[in-house]
Amino acid sequence: MGQNPKEVDQPLTTPNGTLTENGKFFIAAQSYKMSLVKEPHKIKVYEKIKEGIWCYKGFFNLVDAKIVNTGKRNVFKFYLKPVEFISKKKEVELPHSRLIPASVKVEVWARDKGKCVKCGSTENLHFDHDLPFSKGGTSLTAANVRILCMKCNLSKSGKILSLPPIFLS
C-alpha cells in the first residue's frame, strides 16, 4: 500500500530521477541565491478566489527556497517577491496596483457572463488584464479586465517562462 503523501517528505526528484515541479522551483531559487544566475526566475502566480476561479496575481520573483520541517515531514517553502515588467532590463515593484478590486470583478463577471471570452469555457476561469501593466494597463477599470480560462491565458503568454505558474489555493 502507498504511503499518505501528506506524511512523507516532499521529493526533489521523481523515482526515475527527473526533477519534480517542487524540485525545479527549488533548484531555480538556489541557483539565484548562489549567484549562478544573475536574475531571479519569474513566475506567474494565480490565486484561488472561489472553487474553479483563479485570479491572476502577477509576476513574482522566486528569490529563495528552503526545506522546512513541519513536525511531520519536510516540505518546500518558496519565497516570492512581486515584480512588474517595465522592460526586460528594468523592473519596478508595484505590489498593490495589480490587485483587481472586488467591484471590478463583479462588473467583469457580469459583462463576460462568467465565461472565458475567447473559448466560452466555464472551467478554471480567472480575471486577466487585457492590457499588460507594462503598457499602462490598470486593474481599476473593468475595461482592462476580462475573464479567460487557464488554457487561453497560458497560450497567450506562457512562453516567457521556463517554470510553470504557481497556484495558491
Site mask for Zn ion (CB under 5 A), range 83-122, x = bound: ---------------------------------x-xx-x-
Judged by beta carbon, residue 53 or residue 116, the one nearer Zn ion is 116
Report, in Å, the least distance between residue 139 CB and Zn ion.
20
Judged by beta carbon, residue 77 or residue 118, the one nearer Zn ion is 118
Report, in Å, the least distance between residue 145 CB and Zn ion.
15
Single out the residue of 44, 77, 38 nearest to residue 60, CA to CA.
44
Segment near Zn ion (CB under 5 A); pick from 2-10, 33-41, 94-102, 146-154: 146-154
Contact (CB, 8 A) for 97 and 133: yes
**3-class SS string, 38-66:** CCCEEEEEEEEEECCEEEEEEEEEEEEEE
**Does residue 124 bind Zn ion (CB under 5 A)?**
no
Report, in Å, the least distance between residue 49 CB and Zn ion.
18
C-alpha grid cell for residue 164?
510553470
Give the interface size with Zn ion as a residue count (CB under 5 A).
6
Neighbours of 32 (CB within 10 A): 19
Residue with cell 511531520: 72
The amino acid occupying position 154 is: L
Q: List residues bridging with 48 in a β-sheet.
A: 54
Q: Which of 28, 65, 152, 165 touches Zn ion (CB under 5 A)?
A: 152
Report, in Å, the least distance between residue 152 CB and Zn ion.
3
Question: Who's near 64: CB < 8 A, 6+ residues apart?
Answer: 29, 32, 33, 78, 79
Judged by beta carbon, residue 43 or residue 117, the one nearer Zn ion is 117
Q: Which of 45, 76, 149, 165 touches Zn ion (CB under 5 A)?
A: 149
Q: Which residues bind Zn ion (CB under 5 A)?
A: 116, 118-119, 121, 149, 152
